[in-house]
Structure formats: C-alpha cells, structure tokens
Structure 1
Amino acid sequence: MRPKEVLQQFVEAFNRTDVEKLVSLYHEEAINHQVAEETVQGHDAIRKMFVESFANASMTCIVENMFEDGEWAIMEWRDPQGLRGCGFFHVIDSKITFQRGYWDKLTFLRQQGLPIPRE
C-alpha cells in the first residue's frame, strides 16, 4: 500500500476506535511521538497508548488535507469540537515506522473535561 492508503486505513480504524487494526498498521518497532506526550515505541506501547486514549476521551478525526510525498503521508485534521492538528507518517513496506503528531494538549484536555496537570 502507498503511504496515503495506509493513512486512510488509519483514519477509518481510529474513528471506529479499532485498536487492533491501528496497531496492525505499524511496524513492530514503530515510534509514535505525539509532541504533547511521551514518545512510545513498539506494538505493546502503541496499543496501550490507544487503549488509554480511547478510554479517556471521545475522539474523531475529520481529515482536512491529506498529502503523500515519497514514503511520507501527511494529514491536517480537526475534530468535531474544533481542535486542529497535523500528523506525519513515515511508511515503509505498507507499515508506519514513525509517526509525529502536533496538537494543542491544553485545548484537548479542556474540551474533554479532563484534569489539567499542575506543574
């Protein structure tokens, strides 16, 4: 699959909260770095991240733009409440090997009614 096709499957699985399908799209030792969170690596850590995220928040990805450049798929997204972000996905042999996402954690926490960490 081309990187954009992998990303389209990612969005579909994300919106279904299908953790196992999401994990299957990643290389076994993939790195997922959401800049507002700690970096996670490998299927077990990525699975745990998605399970915990879906348990704590209601999330929907609405694609605004999706691009492909060589081994990379890039997406600008929003959610129904107006949170916006973007993600970069490095795809090799139809598997995500590296992902980096940018979004506003404070806005996300407020929208979801989640506690805001104190320093």
Structure 2
Amino acid sequence: MTPADLVRDWVSAFNHANADELAELYHEDACNHQVAEVEVTGKEQIRAMFAREFADAEMVCIIENLFEDGDWAILEWRDPQGLRGCGFFEVIDGKIQNQRGYWDKLSFLRQQGLPLPTE
C-alpha cells in the first residue's frame, strides 16, 4: 500500500467518525501533531483524541489534492463549510509514523459552535 493509498483509507475512516479504525492505521509509537493543538503520541492516545473530537464536532474531510513523495503523503483538504487545511503523513511499513496538520482552529471552533479560547 502506498502512502497515498493509506491516506485515502484514513479519510474514509475519518469521514465515518471511526476512531478505532483510524487508530489501526498508526504505529504503536506514532506521533500526531495538529499544530493548533498539543502533540499526541502513541496509538491509544491518538485513538482517544479522535474519539473526543468526533464526540464534540461533526467533521468531514474532502480531498482537494493528494501528493506522494517517498514515505510521505501530503493531503490538502476542505470540509463542506469551507474550512481548509493540509496534512503531512509519514508512512513507514504500511502505517502512519508521523502526522502533522495545519488548519485554522478559530474558524473551526466558530463553525462548530464550540467555545472559543479565553486566553
């Protein structure tokens, strides 16, 4: 499976709000760093992060562009309400080892009707 294929599977699991299926795509010691959030390390912690996020908000990832370069896949995405972002996935031995995501947290919170930061 190529890194781009794995990211397509990731998008499918994400769009089904399936935290367990998403977690299975990561190495045990994987790192997920959404730059607007604290870095999350470890497959179980990543699963818990997705479970919390899916409980808090309705999220959909629509692929705009998907590029591949060696062990990396680069995903440019949008959601139905116009939020846009980009994710970088390092895939080693068929699993995600590192993931970084860039998106506008303030716009996301407003869009979802979630509390805004006070600091």
TM-score (norm 2): 0.99
| Superposition deviation, residue 77 in structure 1 | 0.2
CA deviation map 1:77-105 (0-9, x unaligned): 00000000000000010000000000000
Equivalent residue, structure 1, for 2:78: 78
Are the equivalent residues in 1 in contact too, given 2:63–2:75 (CA < 8 A)? yes
TM-score by length of 1: 0.99
Q: Is 1:49–2:61 an aligned residue pair?
A: no
Runs of 4+ with >4 A deviation: none
The CA RMSD measured in Å over matched residues stands at 0.5
1:44 and 1:95 map into 2 onto residues whose CA distance is 14
Q: What is the SS of the residue equivalent to 1:114?
A: coil
Gaps of 5+ in 1: none
Q: Sequence identity, in percent?
A: 64
Aligned to 2:95: 95
Instruction: State the one-letter code of the partner of 1:23.
Output: A
How many residue pairs were aligned?
119
- Aligned AA (1:101): G
| Counterpart AA for 1:61 | C
Per the alignment, residue 59 of structure 1 pairs with 59
d(CA) in 2 for partners of 1:74, 1:17: 21
Structure 2 gaps, min length 5: none
Q: Distance in 1 between matches of 2:100 and 2:114?
A: 23
